[in-house]
Amino acid sequence: MHPTSRPKTRPDQAANSSTGAAATAAPDVADPTAEVRAFNRFYTAQIGALGEGHLRTGYSLTEARVLFELAHHPACEVTSLRGHLGLDASYLSRILARFEGDGLLERQRSPIDARRQVVTLTKQGQQEFGLLNDRASDDIHTLLGGLSEEDQGRLVSAMRLIRGILEDAPRAPAFVLRPLRPGDLGWVVHRNAVVYTEEYGWDETYEALVARIIADYIDHHDPVRESGWVAEVNGDRAGAVLCVRKDDEVAQLRLLLVEPSVRGLGIGSRLVEECIRFARRSGYRQMVLWTNDVLADARRIYERAGFTLEKVEPHHSFGHDLVGQWWRLDLI
């Protein structure tokens, strides 16, 4: 069973939305300004930005950032540095004067425009930057060390999302495929049940069917000839599929699922491609799948992947009259 079509509003949902008494009041939305300020206070404390000396040195956070820019942009014009960092001219001038006095940088006239100054870190300046850089990396490594691999991925994805929004960058989310991890199969049961109920009104017997499929996969799993994958968007699960053994020569694609909120990114096609690729590597001669004709978007994915419709069978399941379909793909 493979939901990939757009959500549909059910009659009971429409009724609830049309009567104020039946509708549930939306929770209060926090003040965005207060939320951002609270996050800033939290994060600056987490990374030690509030200390008198940044990273246990005699430099402020701003001074450390100036060193970073000079280390990564040798022979940097002062005007460019000021514009890039958004610093007041007199404030930057005092920082550079201190660095020059401490032997961290040298000044010279620009060979292009003698009115402009170019600053370059000395060997001592490079050493000071190296100390700051190593301590910053060690501190972040320690911070991440207290998190699971999954939470590290979620954290990095959330940071990329924040940066993309504030930079007004294109925000079409990318996705990654990975092998199954503990907890993924329970998520597959849960999300299949929720998505099919919301989109098609299927009853609890469908959840029971998915649970049996997952239980059989766990109980009889052949790691050489069976596998599964999860798609992630911004560190969150967004889709899944299983490749299971039907017999020695035939693999079966099962439980393709793509979250409604991320459809249109090509996740379903990519999951199917991965399933087919694995089946070929595992020596299967054919792959089959069973779905229902109401899942039009899924059928288009299978057709593009080369599957052909082999058989249809009307049935009454999950509280509805449906038309099941068997699809087949030759792998050799």
- CATH number of the domain that residue 139 is part of: 1.10.10.10
Q: Work out the percent of the chain whose per-residue pLDDT is above 70.
A: 89
Q: What's the token pair of residue 301?
A: 């994915």
Residues 85 and 180 in one domain: no
Residues 183 and 266 in one domain: yes
**Distance in angstroms (rounded) separating the CA atoms of residues 315 and 321:** 6
**Cα separation values, 46 from 42, 145, 151, 208, Å:** 6, 14, 16, 45
What integer pLDDT is reported at residue 13 of this predicted model? 39
Torsion over CA of 231, 233, 239 and 240, rounded to 10 degrees? 20
Residues 322 and 181 in one domain: yes
65 CB-contact burial (10 Å; exposed 0-12 / middle 13-18 / buried 19+): middle
For 206-262, write each residue's pLDDT tens digit. Answer: 999 999 999 999 999 999 999 999 999 888 999 999 999 999 999 999 999 999 988
Is the pLDDT confidence value at 10 over 60?
no
Q: Work out the percent of the chain whose per-residue pLDDT is above 90.
A: 50
Residues 326 and 223 in one domain: yes
Q: What is the CATH number for 194?
A: 3.40.630.30
- Identify the domain containing residue 95 by its residue range: 54-145
User: For the chain, how many structural domains are there in total?
Assistant: 2
Q: Is the pTM for the entire model greater than 0.75?
A: no
Residue 208 resides in a domain: yes
Placement of tokens 């100036």 in the chain: 66
Residues 58 and 191 in one domain: no
Which of these three, 105, 128, 145, is where a domain ends? Answer: 145
